[in-house]
Structure 1
Amino acid sequence: MTVTAIDYTGVFQALPGMVALLTPDLVYADANEEFLRMSRRTREQVVGRHLFEVFPDNPNNPAASGMRNLAASLERVRETGTRDAMALQRYDVEDPERPGEWEERYWSPVNAPVLGPDGKVAVLVHRVEEVTELIKARGGPTGGRTRVLEAELYTRARELQELNERLRQAHAREREVALALQEAMLPARRQMGHHRAAVRYRPAVGALNVCGDWYDLVDLVGGHRIGVAVGDVVGHGLAAAGVMGQLRSALSAASRVAAGPAEALNVLGRYAHVVDGAESATAVTTFIDFDAHTITYSSAGHPPPVLLHADGRLEFLDRATDPPLDARPDPVRRPEFRTTYTEGATLVLYTDGLVERRHEDIDTGLTRLADSLTRHRTDDPESLADAVLLELLPPGGATDDTALVIVRL
């Protein structure tokens, strides 16, 4: 049977629980067979009639409020467009065969909206679980109180399930925002003339698909030059990503007008000092001059880039290292250093999630990185990036975010 051939009207009528559909005006539009059976009503007595016309509150019991509570819940769903799981309700239901006689019933309702094409609530779904037998238990008052507690626990458990579902939906929406944020703020892998670059971005295990690490590749004014940078904001998720976006954008703009990477980091440090959440953020930026075959670099508390020379020699760019971005209340010019390379060399920038492990000296991680780069030095940047991540990140994922940029010079 195909999906289009399913008889959804038949499915609705065959549902094992009590389910009714109401209009936004609280008029019954339909009710399944179980709802009619358990409420002891015919279809004619329900469909087309208002909620209070079918189930009025008991006029002989001033404390009776079950139907008013139900109406309030349905109205909340109608106004907010979100489902509502009600606490266990006592209803006095009039016996349809003996008018004026009322039965004590206990129902556990959940009300949910169905939106129309205009985004407004078109139908209200009213699902009920009959728990009267749990309340009217044999064994006298004590047994009855025990059954009441059992029913209340059951209701609370179901409310927790509803809450978990809402949290799951909220998390899914947050993840969609995170993915859009990542796509908007981080540049895609790119081709720079005949120079190739590979980028990788791995959030920490359990985090959204966005984190506080960033990378950037920016064309620089004057000659055949680019700036390549990576940075790290403490934390994960949307808050860290927001700070990350601010710092990345600021460094990208500063790099376009700065005389060198140290000046760009000086500007970024002043900016980070007034950005909430930028505490202890780190960054390293490199200015590559393809005509002069030079790399000028400066680091603000970040692990050193690696220059893998064409002859296989490996060089850590660690001769211009300074404290993190906001470490000094008064700005002090940061150091920078220039090194040379020959065509075919590879520049590697990364964040600490690639090399740092708990209870392990960072030199151990740097040695692992050096070994991996050396063994795969002839690979193209994309293959090299995949090999490095495979060998350095734990199989189940890292507990810290990781960004990786590899440029073939």
Structure 2
Amino acid sequence: MREPQIDYAAVFHALPGMVALLTPDLVYADANEDFLRLAGRTREQLLGQYIFDVFPENPNDPAAAGMRETRESMLRVVAGGERDTMALVRYDIEERERPGHWVKHYWSPVNAPVLDPDGNVMLVVHRVEEVTELIQARDGGGPDNDDRARVLEAELYTRARELQEINERLRRAHERDREVALALQEAMLPAPTPVGHHRAAVRYQPAVGTLNVCGDWYDLVDLPGDRIAVAVGDVVGHGLKAACVMGQLRSALSAAARVAEGPARALEALGLYARHVDGAESTTAVKTFIDWGTHTVVYSSAGHPPPALLGPDGTVVFLDRATDPPLGARPHHVPRPEATVPFVEGATLVLYTDGLIERRDEDIDAGLARLAGALVLHQRSDPETLADALLADLLPPTGNTDDTALVIIRL
């Protein structure tokens, strides 16, 4: 199917409402039919002319300010490259056929830039909504002392339209921010690569009221032999700043896991690196090395909530025997502890951030008990189903005020 050939010049001239195009010097480049008709000018009287030579200020009205306000609005557009919506203005126009006779017009203008590929303003779109009839509707253009009431009525109408435009601009800005956030999330928290033949599930849930990025992270790394390294971490704060810190720390810990002898050494390397990252103070993280050859989990925690090990028989053990302060909490480097726990085939390892369990009005032990109960309740579920069930059971239905990351590995 062939695309229709659109005559944009014809579309412009047929646009409903008054629309004109001006150069950055405020010289008319074009005007549509409604503009010519309602302004009472021919195309020849406009094109190539400075706007305020065509429409000067009414010399008979010392309080007239339509020309000044319109010029300031257009110059703001040229200087800043941003749309400018004007309040209602009274702009008297001299009749061409009756020199010296000025007709009142009430206009609600919007001035918008047209940018070239380099971002420079090459045209100004001057759109005018004629509201003169609205103001004069009550008494057919009665005495001037009633103008204020009618101007107020039109001003309310204009303000409502401005609010609609502001809401639309906010919506577009939110969409742009959301696109940036989604791209950032995808770059910093990509879908985990396959970890051999083992089944894993990950979840990432930012706090309500924030962009779709946060300071929580997860990481899964294949190691030589039948081993993997799994980590979760939590940067203080929310939003883009925390996410940027998170991206740096996640990458550093992922690299350290590939060369370190164990999780404690990997966290030590991360702690040294975090000293030079603004905003990394008080970050918590837990690192585990899972070895299917020896059926063991070696772990170390930097101030992070303990991973949970769910046995096939429904027992839940929290891995809390190798916990040290968060990153940057000590003034000097100190070796971190690590511990080893055995597992049997069919067990499940669960790593998470504090958003899953902590509530401001209760002790952390209550959150850990709630997690243990949910694990037992859903112990026969596969990792993907279990991940969804934990989020559904443990997070508030209206959304959480803290970020949440979750990793589940079937051992």
Per the TM superposition, whether the score is higher than 0.5 is yes
SS of residue paired to 2:249: helix
Deviations 1:63-104 (CA, angstroms, capped at 9, x unpaired): 755335434433443454421112443423212331222234
Q: Deviation at 1:270? A: 3.5
5+ long unaligned stretches in structure 2: none
Segment of structure 1 superposing worse, 84-93 or 184-193: 84-93
Q: CA deviation at 1:303?
A: 1.3
- Is 2:207 aligned against 1:204? yes
Alpha-carbon distance in 1 for matches of 2:7, 2:132 = 32
Q: Which of 369, 374, 398 is 1:372 aligned to?
A: 374
Which whole-Å deviations, capped at 9, do the CAs of 1:102-137 have from their partners, x for residues lacking one?
234332211123456786656533222345578789
Q: Distance in 2 between matches of 1:260 and 1:319?
A: 15
For residues 281-330 of structure 1, what are the alpha-carbon distances to aligned partners after superposition, in whole Å with 9 as ceiling and x for unaligned?
Answer: 21111112222221111112211111122343321111112222232223
Q: What is aligned with 1:314?
A: 316
Structure 1 residue aligned with 2:186 = 183
Name the structure 2 match of 1:282.
284
TM-score, normalization: structure 1?
0.84
Range moving further from structure 2, 141-150 or 223-232: 141-150
Deviation readout 1:238-281 (Å, 9 max, x if unpaired) = 11111111221222223233332222223323433443323432
Q: Is the 8 A contact 2:324 2:336 kept in 1?
A: yes
2:176 corresponding residue in structure 1: 173
Q: 1:192 to 1:159 in 2, by over 3 A?
A: same
Q: Please, what TM-score do these two structures have when normalized by structure 2? A: 0.84
How many angstroms apart in 2 are the aligned matches of 1:140 and 1:333? 88
1:252 maps to which of 251, 254, 263? 254
CA distance in 1, matches of 2:269, 2:61: 74
Q: How many angstroms does 1:402 deviate by?
A: 1.1
The code of the aligned residue for 2:86 comes to: M
The alpha-carbon distance between structure 1 residues 32 and 230, as it changes in their structure 2 partners (threshold 3 A), is farther
In 1, the alpha carbon distance for the partners of 2:153 and 2:264 equals 68
Q: How far does residue 405 in structure 1 lie from its aligned partner after superposition?
A: 0.8
The answer to which of 337-346 and 38-47 deviates more is 38-47
Q: Distance in 1 between matches of 2:164 and 2:276?
A: 42
> What is the alpha-carbon distance in structure 2 between the residues aligned to residue 240 and residue 188 of structure 1?
20
Q: 1:69 to 1:91 in 2, by over 3 A?
A: same
SS class of match (2:199): strand
Could you say which residue in structure 1 is the equivalent of 2:56? Answer: 56
Structure 2 CA distance for partners of 1:160 and 1:55, relative to 1, 3 Å: same
**Which residue number corresponds to residue 31 of structure 1?**
32
Residues in 1 aligned to 2:146 and 2:235: alpha-carbon distance in whole angstroms: 58
CA contact (8 A) 2:310 2:347 kept: yes
Give the whole-Å Cα distance in 1 for the aligned partners of 2:148 and 2:332.
Answer: 69
Q: Does 2:264 align with 1:224?
A: no
Q: Equivalents in 1 of 2:46, 2:291: separation in Å?
A: 80
- The answer on whether the counterparts of 1:190 and 1:198 sit within 8 Å (CA) in structure 2 is no
How has the CA–CA distance of structure 1 residues 333 and 141 changed in structure 2, closer, same or farther, with 3 Å as cutoff? Answer: farther
Q: What's the CA shift string for 1:195-242, capped at 9, x where partnerless?
A: 12211111112211111111111234x543322111112222111111
Partner amino acid for 1:304? Answer: P
Alpha-carbon spacing, 1:404–1:9, altered in 2? closer, same or farther (3 Å) = same
Given that 1:215 and 1:230 are in contact with CA atoms closer than 8 Å, whether structure 2 keeps it comes out as yes
Answer yes or no: is 1:292 the counterpart of 2:294.
yes
| C-alpha contact (below 8 Å) 2:108/2:129 kept by paired residues | yes
Which of 383, 396, 399 matches 1:397? 399
Q: Cα gap change, 1:153/1:243 in structure 2, threshold over 3 Å: closer, same or farther?
A: farther
Q: Which residue of 2 aligns with 1:360?
A: 362
Equivalence for 1:111: 111
| Residue aligned with 1:364, SS | helix
RMSD: 3.4
Q: Distance in 1 between matches of 2:28 and 2:164?
A: 28
Give the 3-state SS of the residue equivalent to 1:233 in structure 2: strand
Distance of 1:147 and 1:391 partners within structure 2: 59
Secondary structure class of the residue paired with 1:307: strand
One-letter amino acid of the counterpart of residue 182, structure 1: Q
Deviates more, 1:293-302 or 1:56-65: 56-65
Q: Structure 1's 60 and 140: CA in aligned 2 closer, same or farther, altered over 3 A?
A: closer
Equivalent in the alignment of 2:270: 268
Matched AA of 2:179: E
Q: Deviations over 1:40-85 (max 9, x none)?
A: 4456655675523432334666775533543443344345442111
Measured in 2, the distance between the counterparts of 1:380 and 1:30 equals: 66
The percent of aligned pairs where both chains have the same amino acid is 70
Contact 1:187 1:216 in 2 (8 A): no
Q: Secondary structure at the match of 2:92?
A: strand
Give 1:364 deviation, angstroms: 3.0
Q: Deviations over 1:128-151 (max 9, x none)?
A: 234557878989887655555665
Aligned to 1:331: 333
Aligned length: 406
For residue 217 of structure 2, what is the aligned residue in structure 1? 214
Distance 1:391 1:5 in 2: 56
Structure 1 range deviating more: 96-105 or 337-346: 96-105
* Greater Cα offset, 226-235 or 378-387: 378-387
Give the 3 Å change call, closer, same or farther, for CA 333–143 of structure 1 in structure 2. farther
